[in-house]
Each structure stands twice: as structure tokens, then as C-alpha cells.
Amino acid sequence: MADLLPCNLNISKGISTESPYTRRGGRLNHGRKISGQKGSVLSNKGCVVQCCSASSTSASSAAKQFLVNDRTSFQDREEQLENLVSEHGWRARRLANDGYEMKEVAQIQAEAFHTPVAIFDDLFFQFFKAEVLSGLLYKLRNSPPDRYACLVAEPAADSSKSQREKLVGIVDVTASRDESVMQHLRGAEEYLYVSGIAVSKTFRRQKIGSVLLKACDVLSTLWGFKYLVLRAFEDDVGARRLYTKAGYKVVSIDPQWMTWIGRKRRVLMIKQSNLLD
């Protein structure tokens, strides 16, 4: 996961605290076993089952049944991703493979993480938004479906809120393994990293951030992760309060020398999921 750029937003304007858009082409680590999962990692094509003997009718039948069950399980999980959380009048789900929704995501995250400049700010904003969209497309195209997800929030179907079809919040969730983080985790080979959380300006302070964080909890259980991890700026009191309320605990903080080079210190926060062993 790319290092995060400082964000100059005041917490009174929203809960966005850090930006994942600092480096293009950052590759995800694929192919590692996910702690807590059993069986093969599935794709939308199902899993491939190898039999010891082609002449064994019983083995062949068992393999076919196993394949059907895994495909069904995958379909069930995909359906759950379409409605991870629904509360407070908001619904959180996985981003649809839709160009219009992707542009909405880029707009919300660009608004949250763009640092205004003195001149040509509109032009720089458009460049930044294009970079955000490019990064999103790259991750969606190159990440297995159970290694990365962009979760979005929108008004629930039964909500009376205005602009029902409009996206109002976003968060990125990525399977990660950083040694500086792993030393704080017990019995886990990987963790789920939460980043890029942002809420549309006109919909802030309406519990959308809480709904998105709860959707991350549900996703961690579906994917079999024991821990969720995020970072927040040390002085971002509002964001840290939100994360603490969601169950995250501070386990470490950046060294003091970070401030000597003009960077804000961040805290590392970890939450144990509800996954049962």
C-alpha cells in the first residue's frame, strides 16, 4: 500500500484523514494465504479441483459437488457485498463496475484529499481527480475480488433522504502485510487495511463514516481476516474519536523526527474483527 500524504483538511469539514493517492502503480501482494480462511481462494470463475484418479467415479462426483458448493459460497458472498450494512438511513456496498459510479468516487475522494493551491487551483484539482480515477481503475482491474474492495455509501432504498441514487461516502479496503504492522498482530498472516475514507461535503456529520467502518467489519468477516488496521494523524482528534468509537485502538505512533522533516505524525490503530476461529 502506498504511503499516505498529509491532509490539511480540518476535521470540522469531515472525517477524511489521509490519502492513498501518492504513488502510481503500487502493486498489491497477491497469492498469500488469508488467515482464517479455509480451502481455495475463489475467483468469479470458481475454483479448480484436481482429482487423483480420472477413473475414480466417487472422487469425480465429490469433486463436482465441491466445485458447486464453492461456487454457491462465492455467489452468496458476492450477494452479501451488495448490501453489507444498512442503518441510519444509509446503505454500504461494494462499488459497482460502472463508469459513472467510478467518477463519483473520484470526485468525492479528490474533494477530500486535494490540497488547494494559490493559482490554477481548478486545473490542479482536475489533474488530481484524474489521478485518483486512474488509481481506482488500476486497483479494480489488477486486484483479485477478495484482496481489494472499494466500498461506497448511498441513501438506503427505504430512506427519505434526498438524492437517493447519489454516492455519499467511500472507503478502500485492501489485504496487506506490512512487517511494521504484523509485529502488533497475533496469530495472523495478513490484515485488512482501511484507507481513503471520505464523505461528500454536503452529507458530512450524518453517521456515514460509522456506516462505512461497520461495512469494513462485515467485509473482514466475509474474507476471513482477524484484524483491521488504519492510520490517522495524531492531531486529528475528530477522526481518532470516530475510529475509537468503532473499536480501533492505538498501538503505535510515528517517531518524533517525522515532524523535523515537515510531516505530521500518525497513529497506527488496530481492531480485532468478530471472526471466530
Domains of the chain: 16-22+58-272 (3.40.630.30)
Judge if pTM exceeds 0.85: no
pLDDT 10s digits, 194-237: 999 999 988 999 999 999 999 999 999 999 999 999 999 999 99
Contacts of 137 (CB under 8 A, 6+ apart): 102
Nearest CA among 221, 217, 213 for reference residue 276? 221
Environment class of 192 (CB within 10 Å of its CB; exposed 0-12, middle 13-18, buried 19+)? buried
pLDDT, tens only, 150-201 = 999 999 877 665 555 589 999 999 999 999 999 999 889 999 999 999 999 8
Distances (CA, A) of 66 to 42, 45, 53, 113: 12, 14, 16, 46
Instruction: Tell me which residues are annotated as active site.
Output: 243
Contacts of 183 (CB under 8 A, 6+ apart): none
